[in-house]
Amino acid sequence: MTRSYAAGITIAADSFVDLQTHTRLSDGEWTPEDLIDHFLREGFATAAITDHDRVDTLVGTQHIARDRGFPLLVAAEMTTRWRDSAVDLLCFGFENDPSPLNALCERIYQAQTEVSRQVYQNLVLKGTIPRHDDAELAAILHSTTSRQPYQLFDLALSHFPKIEEEFSIMVEAGYRLCTNPTREVVEAVHQGGGVAVIAHPGRTDGYATFDADLLDQFRAEIPIDGIEVYYPRHTPEQIELYEAYARRHGWFISAGSDSHSPDKPPIRYPADRCAALLARLDIAVA
């Protein structure tokens, strides 16, 4: 097991944290080195790199953080489906190397890679991609699961610029988002000694958009531990709703920027907003 370099530290209540960011190891533009250097340069007390459906990279990112002297959390964002809706989960503090999440990440990779293969073949049949190219397809299939659909779309766009932002061409070619059942992910996180929180519950672009009633239904079915209250796209009304709900039901509160690139950098959230979650991860907020 690789222990988080952040475990056992004490940070000030008014110091800065960001508990959702992404690198090139999933669908971000940051390298892990550059993102960790940014955390150091901007005075973050701790932070999480939550690459999508990747736990095989955690040992490497922990080594990078340790070499630079930055207390990085063990974390990942898992793509799940609850009922008929996509629900992303932020997972923290679970055992890794190996992780109980390994098999679930591999399941998504295998499923999404097969979908990408079928989409590529269908785009060739439709003439959107002029011809089949083994090397071109192999490069796409060796990418991360969260990056594959965008590479396919960019390839189609390079041949037919007129499609512009019509991602529907991908759906027509058979694209679908591969997920794991929400309960299975939460159970795997708990098996590994970690906690799981609902990511960006207020988003409306293809994800379940949670109000109090839907949170009640979710909580009745899924043994979730918390919710990402603070998120750039949440309205003040949503933040008030989610914070009150979390406190009423004893949920952990998380805060994340969802930064994928330097043009939308991490946000310096005060650590005391997430004090209970950080304490659960063996980080004292004083």
pLDDT (0 to 100) of residue 1: 43
**pTM for this model (two decimals):** 0.94
d(CA 105, CA 141): 15
pLDDT (tens, 9 = 90+) of the chain, 286 residues, equals 445 778 899 999 999 999 999 999 999 999 999 999 999 999 999 999 999 999 999 999 999 999 999 999 999 999 999 999 999 999 999 987 778 899 999 999 999 999 999 999 999 999 999 999 999 999 999 999 999 999 999 998 888 877 666 778 899 999 999 999 999 999 999 999 999 999 999 999 889 999 999 999 999 999 999 999 999 999 999 999 999 999 999 999 999 999 999 999 999 999 999 999 999 999 999 9
pLDDT (0 to 100) of residue 11: 98
Nearest Cα neighbor of 241 from 232, 256, 230 is 230
Query: How long, in residues, is the chain?
Result: 286
Map tokens 């920027």 to a residue. 257
Nearest Cα neighbor of 62 from 113, 115, 99, 14 is 99
pLDDT (0 to 100) of residue 169: 87
Nearest Cα neighbor of 89 from 60, 59, 50 is 50
Domains of the chain by range and CATH?
10-100+179-285 (3.20.20.140), 105-172 (no CATH)
Sequence-distant (≥ 6) Cβ neighbours of residue 199 within 8 angstroms: 20, 77, 87, 88, 89, 90, 228, 256
**Helical spans, DSSP H, in the chain:** 32-41, 58-68, 102-126, 134-141, 148-159, 168-172, 182-191, 212-221, 236-249, 275-280
pLDDT (0 to 100) of residue 164: 61
d(CA 38, CA 256): 15
- Compute the half-sphere exposure of residue 156: CA atoms within 13 Å on the CB side of its CA: 28
